[in-house]
Structure 1
């Protein structure tokens, strides 16, 4: 798990996104814990996604938790895997539960993250919190870069000190950094991405990594190290370069990506389109998964229409907001 203060990690309550008669449909995230399982009834369905790589050890922890909550029917629990490898692990180690390969980045807002008519100002951009697992030091050879430091704690003192330490410890250079922002504005984020040419993601392991898909939706090719957790589920030779995890390796890959943009081998519109198409396929797979469970209830209800209406995004199950709930009697 990342090097964060555990006392500052938000709780992960269940969120109900649909109620049909006496059956509720919940979504939750697993981030080392999952609160609220005692509220689930025997008729209810639970969908769980991951913010971090799911391993055999993670499955063992989840298995123990489910065993301690006998009110939860395993056959009515479905895990959303961010990669085919994650699905294999879950299928093998979480007996009785279902798993669907639905990379959670398919729910990144593709209307917000889009290609804008902005002049390019930066060769590269790196949107990453000031944490060790992000491996900022691998980008220290790049000076023409915009650095966006996300942070789970937006109290200025804590946030500023963490960012300053990250910059100093890794010898980071930059042409732009959001050091003076106490809360990042998403519209401004999209503008910065559109003013950049290449997006950097350099962690070895995490989850699906929303920043990676945000780059792609804004038409930026991605330079990434080899990774585990699901972000490479979106990568092809037409939208990314996988580089050696070294300062020279990252620098060389950025140069290569810039050349491919110049020659047309990387085309921003095609990069965005490939992500949109794959995201639609993942969302359809999830919708079909929900619809199958509704059909078992012998109720006529269109899952797709409902999920679109509430703008379903399982990543919202983090204490920040709640879904509308549709009641069918």
Structure 2
């Protein structure tokens, strides 16, 4: 075993350690002493009262601790989505401990975890966590991903996934053709990136192609326009991991009009799957190949795949809007019919800490 892989036991599917890694969350401490120009990700859904969605970077709760510390007399409501599955009980226990620590430190604030699955919601609630079912894939902006009429579909399938072993790219190896959109974790060392990328490239079967630009030791990420164009070059989107978060790529495929072939999974990517537009197969290369053949044979119109998905999304968005109205204590006029608050893609905006603080002071 490569010792560097032990640094990332979940990503590299290291036996035993991948299940125990969640204990590291017990040791995390809320970040302190951030400079005012530090970039963070989040957004206010409301300024009266203060409802702030925190992307959980840095872990566990992003900028929530900083804002609650800077404004101790304010009654914040922090919403924190789950980006990696908490259906491993160890990970859930670590988050529950962090949640209790946060609430004890900031008694005037409320910290609500947004679960991607009903199982996550039930587990966290039993552990005393304030949690709400709100699958994160409904927060993807459908305007960014859409069918492109008339584009030639050169590949049987496309797999948009991080280049890490837990994504199980090998399950696609028997497909006659497959395109890959990928990237590598920025925390990896150049040596680890180079080693892992080289191994993947050398193992690619005939007619399997990485669509990104590739350097000697890294992959150049694509923006959403290029990703959307790449998806239009394939017949089927692949989802091959067994356990992760909600997997944004899964909903991007469907919004772009691609039917999906997926292995069984935990983490929430199947929330907006429909029997017409998705096929669940065994964790086996032949099963994946047969699934792709079956979905291609259905010849579903891309607009049908997209419309079917949007109907499912609209139901969950309606529930979430009611939830936000309840936190706000009132309904407001909508400028966007989809949302009861000012919206941004994935409920995430980049800004400096000082910019978010300024909004609190000026409200």
Residue 146 of structure 2 is aligned to residue 146 of structure 1: no
Measure, in 2, the Cα distance between the counterparts of 1:274 and 1:84: 22
* More displaced 10-residue stretch of structure 1: 207-216 or 177-186: 177-186
Q: Partner residue of 1:90?
A: 124
Q: Partner residue of 2:11?
A: 2
User: Where do residues 195-274 of structure 1 align in structure 2 (5 Å cutoff)?
Assistant: 195-261=233-299, 266-274=300-308
* More displaced 10-residue stretch of structure 1: 180-189 or 119-128: 180-189
Residue 44 of structure 2 is aligned to residue 17 of structure 1: yes
Instruction: Give structure 2 stretches of 5+ with no counterpart.
Output: 1-9, 14-20, 22-30, 32-38, 215-219
Measure, in 2, the Cα distance between the counterparts of 1:204 and 1:318: 30
- Cα deviation for residue 177 of structure 1 reads 1.5
Measure, in 1, the Cα distance between the counterparts of 2:261 and 2:119: 22
Measure, in 1, the Cα distance between the counterparts of 2:350 and 2:86: 18
Q: Partner residue of 2:143?
A: 111
CA contact (8 A) 1:18 1:326 kept: no
In 2 relative to 1, CA 38–134 (structure 1 residues): closer, same or farther, beyond 3 Å?
Answer: same
**Residue number among 144, 156, 164 corresponding to 1:123 in the alignment:** 156
Measure, in 1, the Cα distance between the counterparts of 2:348 and 2:112: 17
In 2 relative to 1, CA 320–248 (structure 1 residues): closer, same or farther, beyond 3 Å?
Answer: farther
Measure, in 2, the Cα distance between the counterparts of 1:48 and 1:140: 37
**Residue number among 33, 36, 56 corresponding to 2:60 in the alignment:** 33
Measure, in 1, the Cα distance between the counterparts of 2:340 and 2:325: 13
Measure, in 2, the Cα distance between the counterparts of 1:318 and 1:66: 24
**Cα deviations by residue, 1:160-189 (Å, 9 ceiling, x for unpaired):** 653332233x55443431352523132111
In 2 relative to 1, CA 82–74 (structure 1 residues): closer, same or farther, beyond 3 Å?
Answer: farther
Q: Partner residue of 1:287?
A: 321
**Cα deviations by residue, 1:6-34 (Å, 9 ceiling, x for unpaired):** 9xxxx99573414535x422222347523
CA contact (8 A) 1:139 1:172 kept: no
Measure, in 2, the Cα distance between the counterparts of 1:326 and 1:178: 43
- Cα deviation for residue 100 of structure 1 reads 2.4
Measure, in 1, the Cα distance between the counterparts of 2:245 and 2:314: 20
User: Where do residues 314-329 of structure 1 align in structure 2 (5 Å cutoff)?
Assistant: 314=346, 316=348
In 2 relative to 1, CA 19–270 (structure 1 residues): closer, same or farther, beyond 3 Å?
Answer: closer
Measure, in 2, the Cα distance between the counterparts of 1:241 and 1:138: 15
**Cα deviations by residue, 1:174-210 (Å, 9 ceiling, x for unpaired):** 3431352523132111111012100111000000001
Q: Partner residue of 1:137?
A: 170
Q: Partner residue of 2:26?
A: none
**Residue number among 182, 207, 218 corresponding to 1:174 in the alignment:** 207
**Cα deviations by residue, 1:191-233 (Å, 9 ceiling, x for unpaired):** 1101210011100000000111111011111011000000111
Q: Partner residue of 1:192?
A: 230
CA contact (8 A) 1:197 1:221 kept: yes
In 2 relative to 1, CA 27–122 (structure 1 residues): closer, same or farther, beyond 3 Å?
Answer: same
- Cα deviation for residue 326 of structure 1 reads 8.5
Number of aligned positions between the proteins: 312
In 2 relative to 1, CA 281–191 (structure 1 residues): closer, same or farther, beyond 3 Å?
Answer: same
* More displaced 10-residue stretch of structure 1: 230-239 or 285-294: 285-294
Q: Partner residue of 1:59?
A: 92
Aligned residues: CA RMSD: 3.4
Measure, in 2, the Cα distance between the counterparts of 1:187 and 1:230: 25
Q: Partner residue of 2:343?
A: 311
CA contact (8 A) 1:44 1:76 kept: yes
What SS does the aligned partner of 2:197 have? Answer: helix
Measure, in 2, the Cα distance between the counterparts of 1:92 and 1:154: 33
Measure, in 1, the Cα distance between the counterparts of 2:298 and 2:107: 51
